[in-house]
Amino acid sequence: MNNNEKNLSGEELQKIKGGSFIGYAIGYMIGSDAYTMTHYTRHRRNRWIQSHRHKK
């Protein structure tokens, strides 16, 4: 079973090293960036409102 698993992982690694991985990485990075940016800006806006409310 170990040999089969190693062979499967090797084939997956070879596929990952191909162009499909670049497309996947770019898509993943763009998707995560868009999510984190919207989430981060929303979070900062809330923090800014809270901090200004506390100062007042």
pLDDT digits over 18-44, tens only?
Answer: 666 677 777 777 777 776 767 677 767
> What's the pLDDT at 44?
73
Indicate whether 28 belongs to any domain.
Answer: yes
Q: Which two tokens stand for residue 31?
A: 């998707």
Q: Which residues form the domain of 41?
A: 19-56
- 8 assigned to some structural domain: no
Residue 2, SS3 per DSSP: helix
Q: Is residue 10 part of a domain?
A: no
Neighbours of 21 (CB within 10 A): 14
CB within 8 Å of 15: residues ≥ 6 apart: 21
Inside any domain, residue 49: yes
pTM of the model: 0.26
Q: Is 32 part of any domain?
A: yes
In a domain, 27, yes or no: yes
**Structural domain includes residue 12:** no
Total domains in the fold of the chain: 1
Per-residue CA distances from 36 to 21, 33, 39, 43 (Å): 22, 5, 5, 10
